[in-house]
Protein backbone atom coordinates (compact mmCIF):
# COMPACT_ATOMS: atom_id res chain seq x y z
CA UNK A 1 0.00 0.00 0.00
CA UNK A 2 2.87 2.37 0.85
CA UNK A 3 4.51 1.67 -2.53
CA UNK A 4 1.22 2.51 -4.32
CA UNK A 5 0.84 5.75 -2.39
CA UNK A 6 4.43 6.75 -3.23
CA UNK A 7 3.89 5.91 -6.92
CA UNK A 8 0.76 8.09 -7.02
CA UNK A 9 2.61 10.93 -5.28
CA UNK A 10 5.48 10.65 -7.76
CA UNK A 11 3.06 10.68 -10.71
CA UNK A 12 1.33 13.78 -9.32
CA UNK A 13 4.71 15.50 -8.83
CA UNK A 14 5.82 14.65 -12.38
CA UNK A 15 2.58 16.01 -13.84
CA UNK A 16 2.98 19.17 -11.74
CA UNK A 17 6.55 19.72 -12.99
CA UNK A 18 5.52 19.13 -16.62
CA UNK A 19 2.57 21.51 -16.34
CA UNK A 20 4.71 24.17 -14.65
CA UNK A 21 7.28 23.89 -17.43
CA UNK A 22 4.62 24.23 -20.13
CA UNK A 23 3.09 27.28 -18.45
CA UNK A 24 6.50 28.93 -18.04
CA UNK A 25 6.95 28.79 -21.82
CA UNK A 26 3.34 29.64 -22.72
CA UNK A 27 2.67 32.49 -20.25
CA UNK A 28 2.14 35.04 -23.06
CA UNK A 29 -0.61 32.82 -24.48
CA UNK A 30 -2.38 32.87 -21.12
CA UNK A 31 -2.24 36.66 -20.98
CA UNK A 32 -2.73 37.63 -24.64
CA UNK A 33 -4.33 34.75 -26.53
CA UNK A 34 -3.70 32.23 -29.29
CA UNK A 35 -1.65 34.57 -31.44
CA UNK A 36 1.04 34.46 -28.71
CA UNK A 37 1.24 30.67 -28.46
CA UNK A 38 4.87 29.63 -28.82
CA UNK A 39 6.08 26.52 -30.62
CA UNK A 40 6.90 23.83 -28.09
CA UNK A 41 8.07 20.24 -28.40
CA UNK A 42 7.66 17.50 -25.84
CA UNK A 43 11.42 16.95 -25.97
CA UNK A 44 12.00 20.52 -24.74
CA UNK A 45 9.75 19.94 -21.74
CA UNK A 46 11.35 16.55 -21.07
CA UNK A 47 14.78 18.19 -21.05
CA UNK A 48 13.61 20.97 -18.70
CA UNK A 49 12.00 18.50 -16.29
CA UNK A 50 14.74 15.88 -16.57
CA UNK A 51 12.65 12.93 -17.72
CA UNK A 52 12.29 10.93 -20.94
CA UNK A 53 10.02 12.34 -23.65
CA UNK A 54 7.84 9.22 -23.55
CA UNK A 55 7.06 9.99 -19.90
CA UNK A 56 5.92 13.47 -20.89
CA UNK A 57 3.68 12.00 -23.57
CA UNK A 58 2.13 9.47 -21.17
CA UNK A 59 1.74 12.00 -18.37
CA UNK A 60 -0.21 14.53 -20.45
CA UNK A 61 -2.42 11.99 -22.24
CA UNK A 62 -6.09 12.73 -21.52
CA UNK A 63 -5.19 15.56 -19.10
CA UNK A 64 -6.77 19.00 -19.22
CA UNK A 65 -5.99 22.37 -17.67
CA UNK A 66 -8.29 25.26 -16.87
CA UNK A 67 -6.84 28.54 -18.18
CA UNK A 68 -8.14 32.07 -18.72
CA UNK A 69 -8.59 30.92 -22.35
CA UNK A 70 -10.81 27.99 -21.39
CA UNK A 71 -10.31 24.35 -20.53
CA UNK A 72 -7.66 22.92 -22.83
CA UNK A 73 -5.96 19.56 -23.24
CA UNK A 74 -2.30 19.69 -22.24
CA UNK A 75 -1.43 18.45 -25.74
CA UNK A 76 -2.79 21.77 -27.10
CA UNK A 77 0.40 23.51 -25.95
CA UNK A 78 2.65 21.32 -28.08
CA UNK A 79 2.51 22.88 -31.52
CA UNK A 80 4.59 22.78 -34.63
CA UNK A 81 6.29 25.89 -35.91
CA UNK A 82 6.38 28.08 -38.99
CA UNK A 83 9.42 30.24 -39.77
CA UNK A 84 8.99 33.95 -40.34
CA UNK A 85 10.89 36.35 -42.57
CA UNK A 86 12.82 37.90 -39.68
CA UNK A 87 14.08 34.49 -38.54
CA UNK A 88 11.66 34.13 -35.64
CA UNK A 89 9.56 31.03 -35.29
CA UNK A 90 5.78 31.22 -34.94
CA UNK A 91 3.34 28.59 -33.75
CA UNK A 92 1.19 26.93 -36.41
CA UNK A 93 -1.81 27.55 -34.18
CA UNK A 94 -1.08 31.30 -34.29
CA UNK A 95 -0.90 31.22 -38.10
CA UNK A 96 -4.22 29.32 -38.26
CA UNK A 97 -5.79 31.86 -35.92
CA UNK A 98 -4.52 34.72 -38.13
CA UNK A 99 -6.10 33.02 -41.18
CA UNK A 100 -9.38 32.69 -39.27
CA UNK A 101 -9.23 36.41 -38.37
CA UNK A 102 -8.58 37.46 -41.97
CA UNK A 103 -11.48 35.39 -43.27
CA UNK A 104 -13.74 36.74 -40.52
CA UNK A 105 -12.93 40.33 -41.50
CA UNK A 106 -13.08 39.90 -45.27
CA UNK A 107 -15.59 41.54 -47.60
CA UNK A 108 -18.13 38.76 -48.22
CA UNK A 109 -18.78 40.08 -51.73
CA UNK A 110 -15.07 39.74 -52.55
CA UNK A 111 -13.69 36.99 -50.28
CA UNK A 112 -9.96 36.39 -50.02
CA UNK A 113 -8.56 33.50 -52.04
CA UNK A 114 -5.89 31.23 -50.58
CA UNK A 115 -3.35 33.08 -52.75
CA UNK A 116 -4.51 36.43 -51.32
CA UNK A 117 -4.26 35.12 -47.77
CA UNK A 118 -0.79 33.74 -48.50
CA UNK A 119 0.36 37.10 -49.86
CA UNK A 120 -1.00 38.98 -46.83
CA UNK A 121 0.75 36.53 -44.52
CA UNK A 122 4.02 37.03 -46.43
CA UNK A 123 3.67 40.80 -46.02
CA UNK A 124 3.15 40.23 -42.30
CA UNK A 125 6.36 38.20 -42.18
CA UNK A 126 5.04 34.61 -42.17
CA UNK A 127 6.65 32.25 -44.68
CA UNK A 128 3.56 30.24 -45.63
CA UNK A 129 2.87 28.73 -49.06
CA UNK A 130 -0.56 28.78 -50.67
CA UNK A 131 -0.81 25.00 -50.21
CA UNK A 132 -0.28 25.48 -46.50
CA UNK A 133 -2.98 28.17 -46.37
CA UNK A 134 -5.36 25.74 -48.11
CA UNK A 135 -4.46 22.97 -45.68
CA UNK A 136 -4.97 25.21 -42.63
CA UNK A 137 -8.25 26.57 -44.04
CA UNK A 138 -9.54 23.01 -44.47
CA UNK A 139 -8.43 22.09 -40.94
CA UNK A 140 -10.36 25.12 -39.69
CA UNK A 141 -13.38 23.86 -41.71
CA UNK A 142 -13.62 27.14 -43.61
CA UNK A 143 -15.11 26.87 -47.11
CA UNK A 144 -13.24 28.08 -50.20
CA UNK A 145 -13.56 31.68 -51.37
CA UNK A 146 -16.16 30.66 -53.98
CA UNK A 147 -18.31 29.07 -51.30
CA UNK A 148 -17.90 32.05 -48.93
CA UNK A 149 -19.00 34.60 -51.54
CA UNK A 150 -22.22 36.46 -50.74
CA UNK A 151 -24.03 37.77 -53.81
The predicted model scores a pTM of 0.69
How far apart are alpha carbons 115 and 108 in whole angstroms? 16
pLDDT digits (tens, 9 = 90+) for 73-103: 999 998 877 777 666 777 888 888 899 999 9
Condensed to tens digits (0 to 9), the pLDDT of residues 55-78 reads 999 999 999 999 888 899 999 998
d(CA 9, CA 121) in angstroms, rounded, equals 47
Amino acid sequence: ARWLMEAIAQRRQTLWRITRSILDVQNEFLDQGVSHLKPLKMQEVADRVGIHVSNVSRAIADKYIETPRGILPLKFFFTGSTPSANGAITSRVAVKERIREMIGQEDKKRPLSDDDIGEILKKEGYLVARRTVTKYRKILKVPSSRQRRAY
